[in-house]
Each structure stands twice: as structure tokens, then as C-alpha cells.
Structure 1
Amino acid sequence: MLGLCLLTMFCVVATAQAAPNPRYASIVVDVESGDILSAANADAARYPASLTKMMTLYLLFEALDEGRLSLDDELPVSAHAAAQPPSKLWVRKGGSIPVEDAILAMIVRSANDVAVVVGEALGGSEPAFAHQMTAKARELGMADTTFRNASGLPDAGQMTTARDIARLSVHLMQDFPQYYGYFARTQFVYKGKTIPGHNNLLDSYPGTDGLKTGYIDDSGFNVATSAVHDGRRLVSVVMGGFTARSRDSHMASLLDRGFVRASLLDRGDWIAKADLFEGRGAAAARASASPTKAVGTSLAVAQGATPVEASVRDGARQASAPVDDPIRRLIAQGDAAVSPAVAQGWAVQVGAFSNRNSARLRASQAADYLASDLGQATISVTEAQGEQAVYRARVVDLQEDQARHSCRQLATQGMECVVVAGVDP
């Protein structure tokens, strides 16, 4: 009987662990081109938590830009503002805070009390300011966002989407490049005390220079991040993380894959993301009839928009390629790791490309991901028959269970794949 109970409990726990995360959403955007490099639940309603403060900051930057405020102006602290729950700066009723300290308090400390101070200064009251926030969201194209307060504290009516937060992130950089540098701050000094920040990605992911983290119980752990590698800027949003650590790890993974995918799009090598096995020549026929970029949907705000101002890009902490860059290592392996033909048996195909070298790179990247399970995985690049050259990238010489398990493993890394049976070279 005890064994049955334990088994039942195990099954319940296992089922719960296997269930999808209902709060998760993400998006990765190339800022200059507007290309969506990856997206999951990007238009699903989510609680913004302290990502709300990005809009509070947008309206504050707008007031500064229009001369309605200066960085040295003092903002008064009301009883309502001082009473906000943590995170907070513990400003006191009847006191005041300089505008520049208010900016840093919202970005670095994510201070709820200071967000209300700013909202009341700009809107007269927090509810009135929330209406201004929502109106500005509509103006910026954030059609699925509604604000009810200035801080992001729990409110059932305060909703947004990952796509809308990405739009806001891009607008903050492009509309107010003179203030964007504040988002790179990891601490600041207030009244002689050093105030540490929450955004660990600024230190842990090379090239990151902003933007903002957020958390409430209903939202999970959120973050909007911008990073620059080799002059290319990506903005990514993750919502609904289980922990800050897992959220940051997932963000790093999304950015890694985003930079790789963006480079493939630049070269026009990424022909299709999914099933290319309708028969010989079918992939080539489809590729010749459609644009090369499979990820062709653009972020609305980036269409026709100018690139991020040079002052932002030049000020970014751009990351140089690490000595042990895995992509460079894969390229250096060259043709030596490529088998001349696909062996009989099962394989995992990870893409089809117009360029043989790109197909080899993709296959090698997949094999690198699978190295812990497969050891020295065999890769293959073969040319499909058709009017246009298409090169299939595959990991080969697998048993059926290996192929299916490997494809599931690759999917967790964000790499599209299809299991192929009885492959004939």
C-alpha cells in the first residue's frame, strides 16, 4: 500500500514537472533589420511586473527631452508613494528625490516607491499617469498593453506581451539614446550608500548593456535585454521564468542562438526551418518560390525605423569573440568531420541551406550539442536534386531511439530538426 502511495506521488510530481510553463513567453529581435529571430507566445497576455517601469522611464525621458524637467529637479514624495511595498528606496513622505536619482533607482533598484513619485510628478496622480502610460503604449504600437500603475506591482488589469515589451525596448534606445546609458548601471550611490542592482546579465553575458528585470508572483521572473556582438544589436524578452537564475540562463541561450541565426540570415543561407523531406527536389522548388529568409516577420516598430543612434552603439560594451568560440571551432573543423554520404539507418536533419559551408556549420553545431549523449557524432552534408542547389545538414548513423532522443534534445536548444528514417544517399 505504501509503495502504491509513493508511486502515485511520484507520478503526480513527474506530471507536474513535465507540464508546460503557462507564464512563459519570449522573443528575440535584430534591432537594425527588425527580423524576428525567435518567438514563443510572443503575443500572449502576460503580467509585466517591473518591466512596467520601462514605460515610466520612457515618459520621464520624454519630459526631460521636452524641457519640462531637468536631471537636477527635485520630485516630491507623497504618503502614497512612500507606502509602496519593496523593492523600494525607502524615500520618506514629505521629502524629495532628484530626477537623476529617480532614474537610477527605477533601473538599478527597481524601486516601487520612486516609480510612484515619478508617476505623480508627471501625471498628478498615479491613476492619471497610468492612463498616460497606456496612451503612450498605443502611440508606440503596443496594442496589447494596458497599464494600471507606475511600478508593476500586482494588478489584474495590467497586461502586456513579449512583443510589446520588445517594441518599448527598441523605442527607449532609438528615441532617447542620450539616456540609454543609464540601463547599463549595476549600482549607484544614494545619500552616501551604494545601492546594488538586480540585473546580473550585465555582468554575466558579454555585450549586454541593458535593459530591465521584473518579478511578481503572477508573472514569474521577467527580463528585457539588449546585447551587442560585432556591431549587431539584439533585443530579447523572456517572461515567466521559474527563478532569476534559470531566466538569465535561458536569456543567454536565446541570445547565443539569435546571433548565430542573424548571421545566417545575413548570408541568405537559412532556407527553411522545418520539414524539407517531401521528396527529392521539393525543398529546392519551395526555396526558389519563396524568399530566402524564413524568419521574415518584422517587428512593426522597426519597419522603416532608423538604426539605433551611433552614440548608443559606440557606448555599448561590445564583446569580442572569445578565444574558445565554439562557432569558430566548428568552422575550423572543416571538411574533415563530414562524411561523404549519409549512411543507411536513422538521421536527424537540422536544416537545408543554399551554401555547403553553412550546412556543415549547422550540422557541426548540432553534433556539438549532442556530444555528451553521442560522443563523436557523425555529420553529413548532401546536395538535394533540383534546379537550385540545396544542402541538407544531418547527424547520421543513428538508431531510431537515438535519433528521436537527439531531436528532442536539439529542440530544447531551439534548433529545429526532423527525424529521417531509411536515409538513402
Structure 2
Amino acid sequence: MFNSRLSRFKRHLGQLSLILGLSITSHQAIAQSSVMPPAPEIGAKGYMLLDLTTGQTLAEFNSRERLDPASLTKLMTAYMAFAALESKQIRMDQQVPISPYAWKAEGSRMFVEPNKPVTVEELLYGVIVQSGNDASRAIAELLAGDENNFATLMNQQAKRLGLTDTNFKNSTGLPDPQHYTTARDLGILAKRIILDFPEYYKKMYSTKEYTYNGIRQPNRNRLLWIDPSVDGMKTGHTESAGYCLVSSANRKLPNGVDRRLLSVVLGTSSDQARTQESLKLMNYGFQMFETVKLYSANQAISASDVYKGQSKEVKLGVTRDLLINVPRGMAKQLKATVEKKNTLIAPIPAGTELGHLKLTLNGETIGKVPLLALATVEEAGIFGRLVDSAKLWFEE
């Protein structure tokens, strides 16, 4: 019975985890199942809903099952190109020759032509907006000489990003038995594009259509037309993968916070279904939760006494705004309790973990957030250290 409750809860909500280090154990998650709003039924092989503003996972199902990503593979192809642009390995206006191998790519294409150079910028729009397999191969050849070498680089990058259940065999997403990923890994990858390359994300992933070689093609992400807060990200489809969509939306809350959600939906039955299920998941995240700001970055939440230091105390806080999502209407039931280490002895570098905030909702513990030293406390001189050594001896 316990295992079935755990499985059901994880399907509806997933584990709550804050980017600042909030951790939740399974028994604590079970305790919250009575207060967390159940996720809607999503017709997909696997899905995940992330809040990039707080770092929380709001819902997930089969998020670690290895699935065929189809053209969602091109998220990594684009990431590799963005990284090369940032390192000045390539330039946006650089002319790229088109090989017969790239030109003959099957499936979706941007219709590049052999012996007719195309710029890196044009190829990226071809990858992102038109989902061109020919454009993806051209980028692979530009960055690694051939697609096999590029797949090796993709997998190396995947490991660096923490994609633990992903293996790429090509730059396009064309089916291969050894080409797979998960909803969780795609969520990490999409998040990294948004956070690592915001200027490229903002410029390219919201583009609704792109014309190359006299051929205008619309972005296959229908949410760009349906929801004005959606500004990305990528579709995918093959017979084996089904219809897939990674999407992201950013909405400004009444308290002034920009809240960004990221949805990964894999293996739906149709183009319409991937759109509807993604929108359903997004609306669940925005409507059923509210974002509470507990503390500001570098705000002194508490203080602790320090022995043998040039300062007699150190202020404790968090280095980023502490935001958390709670079920709508339950913000007043969210409590934060300070728990600190007892005896602190200098030197203490800024950023040292010196305690934590215990967060409770409706009386149940939902996690802990590290409390950090907001400033460095240097060691006192020899006289100060001797005085405090005596104090410590008497207190013992």
C-alpha cells in the first residue's frame, strides 16, 4: 500500500526540490499528498513540468524512462552551436559549405543546396524553426567534421550537463536503437539552453516562421500562436517516438516575479494532442500553484555568535531570492524555522553552510534550505583568540 501511494503521488506531483538546495525524502513527499493538487491526466509516454524560477519539479510521469526523442535531439545540436558561438569557435555570419550528405538528409528539411554556402545563423533558424535535418547535419559537419564525431561530442556534453540516461547517435533525431533520452534529461537540457544562452533563446525559439531558399515554413510549435506567454521551444515526431513537445512560458506574477515554466511531453498520439497536453500541463502549473517569496538574496535571516573572530557574529541568509511554489491559497500555512549550528569558530569564509531553514506546509515538513554565511569572518588576533578560548573552556 505504501509503495502504491508513493507511485501515485510521484505521478501527480513529483518530488519537490528547490534550486537552493531544498531536499525532500519519500516519506515527507507522502505526507504532502493530501495537500498538493493532483496533476491532470496527460496522454503521453512520459512528461515533466519544471518551474525554472524556483527550481521545483511540479509534476512528472515516467520521467526517467528512456524514449526516442525524435527532433528534440536538435536541442542538443543547437546547444553545441550556441556554445561554439560563445567561445568564438564559429560566427553567426560565417559561410558554411553544404555537403551531399547534408543535402540528402531525409525527413524535415530547410532545403539547403550543395555548393551554395549558407550562414551559421540561417542554419540555426533552419534547425530551430524548420526542424531541418539537412541544417542539423551541416552544423554537425561544421563543428566536428562529420556526424559521427559530432555525436561523440554531443554525448560528452550530455555528461557534463548531467544527462544520465541519454545517448545520441546523430544530430537530427532520426531513429536508431541506441538513440534515446528521457523527459528528465530533456528538461535539464532545455533549462540549460534558456539559462546559459538567453539571448539566442529569446531571439530564435519564439520565431513563428522562417523563409529560406524562397520556401516559408511555420514553426511546428502551435503553442506560439495559442498562448502569448509561450516563447519556445521544440517539437519532435517519428513513428517510433510519437508526437513530442518541449515548451516554455514566462508570465509576470502580481508580485512582480517573472515565473517561467518548462514542459516536456513525450510520445503523444498526434500533433494536436502534444499541443493540448502541453497546454494542459502548463495551465496546471500556473493556475494550481502560487509563488511565495520568503526571503531576498543576501537578506540577513538570522545571526550566530562567532568565537575567535574579528567579528563576534556572522549573519546567515541565502544568496538568491528564496522562492517556492505552494498550492494556491496555502501561502499563509508555509512556515520557515531557523536551525543553526551551535558553536562557530573563525575563520568562516562567506558562503559556508552554517544551518538551514526547515520549511513546513500545513504543519508537514516539505524540505530544508541551507543557510549560508553572508560575509567572511576573519580570525582574531592572538589576544582575542585566547579570551574566546577561555570563554569556550568555561562554557564546556
TM > 0.5: yes
Residue by residue, what CA displacement relative to the aligned partner does 1:350-403 show, whole Å, maximum 9, x if unpaired?
xxxxxxxxxxxxxxxxxxxxxxxxxxxxxxxxxxxxxxxxxxxxxxxxxxxxxx
Q: Normalized against structure 1, the TM-score is what?
A: 0.58
> What 5-or-longer segments of structure 2 have no aligned partner?
1-40, 253-257, 293-323, 331-359, 373-396
Of Structure 1 and Structure 2, the greater strand share is in 2
Match status 1:50 vs 2:71: yes
In structure 2, relative to structure 1, the CA distance for the partners of 1:186 and 1:22 (3 Å cut) is closer
* Paired residues of 1:23 and 1:219 also in contact (CA < 8 A): no
In structure 2, relative to structure 1, the CA distance for the partners of 1:193 and 1:144 (3 Å cut) is same
Structure 2 distance, partners of 1:267, 1:153, is: 38
* Paired residues of 2:44 and 2:265 also in contact (CA < 8 A): no
Residue 262 of structure 1 and its aligned partner are, at CA, apart by 3.2
Match status 1:257 vs 2:279: no
Q: Normalized against structure 2, the TM-score is what?
A: 0.63
SS at match of 1:137: helix
Which AA in structure 2 matches 1:262? F
Structure 2 distance, partners of 1:287, 1:197, is: 44
SS at match of 2:205: helix
**Aligned match of 1:26:** 47
- State how many pairs are aligned: 264
In structure 2, relative to structure 1, the CA distance for the partners of 1:91 and 1:79 (3 Å cut) is same
SS at match of 1:290: strand
**Aligned match of 1:221:** 243
* Paired residues of 1:271 and 1:287 also in contact (CA < 8 A): no
Equivalent positions of 1:193-272 (< 5 A) are 193-230=215-252, 231-263=258-290, 266=324, 268-269=326-327
Identity of aligned residues (%): 32
In structure 2, relative to structure 1, the CA distance for the partners of 1:79 and 1:86 (3 Å cut) is same
SS at match of 2:363: helix
Which AA in structure 2 matches 1:56? T
Match status 1:290 vs 2:365: yes
Residue 160 of structure 1 and its aligned partner are, at CA, apart by 0.3
Match status 1:109 vs 2:130: yes
Residue 141 of structure 1 and its aligned partner are, at CA, apart by 0.7
Structure 2 distance, partners of 1:130, 1:185, is: 27
Residue 95 of structure 1 and its aligned partner are, at CA, apart by 2.8
- Residue 69 of structure 1 is aligned with which of 66, 78, 90? 90
Structure 2 distance, partners of 1:126, 1:193, is: 26
Residue by residue, what CA displacement relative to the aligned partner does 1:267-309 show, whole Å, maximum 9, x if unpaired?
745799xxxxxxxxxxxx9953422x7xx99xxxxxx9xxxxx
SS at match of 2:237: strand
In structure 2, relative to structure 1, the CA distance for the partners of 1:289 and 1:254 (3 Å cut) is closer
In structure 2, relative to structure 1, the CA distance for the partners of 1:66 and 1:240 (3 Å cut) is same
Equivalent positions of 1:26-425 (< 5 A) are 26-180=47-201, 181-230=203-252, 231-263=258-290, 266=324, 268-269=326-327, 287-291=362-366
Residue by residue, what CA displacement relative to the aligned partner does 1:206-263 show, whole Å, maximum 9, x if unpaired?
3000010000111000010000122210000000010010110011110000112331
Which AA in structure 2 matches 1:238? V
Structure 2 distance, partners of 1:31, 1:267, is: 11
Residue 83 of structure 1 and its aligned partner are, at CA, apart by 1.2
SS at match of 1:44: coil
Once structures 1 and 2 are overlaid, which stretch shifts more, 21-30 or 60-69? Answer: 21-30
SS at match of 1:222: strand
Give the RMSD, CA atoms, in angstroms.
2.6
* Paired residues of 1:23 and 1:220 also in contact (CA < 8 A): no
Residue by residue, what CA displacement relative to the aligned partner does 1:28-78 show, whole Å, maximum 9, x if unpaired?
000021100110111111111000011000010111111111111111111
> What 5-or-longer segments of structure 1 have no aligned partner?
1-19, 273-284, 298-303, 305-425
Of Structure 1 and Structure 2, the greater helix share is in 1
